[in-house]
Amino acid sequence: RQHLLQAAREETDHLAWTHERLQALGARPSLLNPLWFSGAFALGFVAAKVSDRASLGFVVETERQVAKHLQSHLSRLPEEDAASRAVVERMKQDEERHAEEAAYRGALPLPKAAQGLMRFAAKVMTTTAHRI
């Protein structure tokens, strides 16, 4: 429980940092963010109803995919945008740690089909978020 509460606080920090950077850059978040948050909540809720270990497995896979996505941002961010790079790097480190901690606490590995479905959903989300 404490692990998840700490991770939730850090995720809230990530949202605040992202909001601040977007404002500083004169950009805005995707209009689809409420849909993404609702979907993530629903998936997490279902995983939690299965078992604590399944919920932790969902955390591991989610955080690994998010860290990979953040790495792709780092590879595209201009070197001179030190502020954005620092935020994204810190978020990536936090996500990797969240995955490691969930695995350490007994996460069940998700079936390959579930991992693939999550990758597909993430691809849809990131592709549409750039446009809407």
DSSP 16: H
Cα–chain center distance at 7: 11
For the segment 17-37, what is each residue's pLDDT rounded down to a tens digit?
Answer: 999 999 999 999 999 999 988
Amino acid at 130: H
Query: Using 50, 70 and 90 to split pLDDT, how confident is the model at 38?
Result: very high
Q: Which domain holds residue 9?
A: 2-129
For the segment 53-87, what is each residue's pLDDT rounded down to a tens digit?
Answer: 999 999 999 999 999 999 999 999 999 999 999 99
Count how many domains the chain has: 1
**Taking the model in full, what pTM does it have?**
0.88
CB 95 within 8 A of CB 70: yes
Q: Could you tell me which of 20, 3, 102, 18 has the C-alpha nearest to residue 55?
A: 102
CB 71 within 8 A of CB 53: no
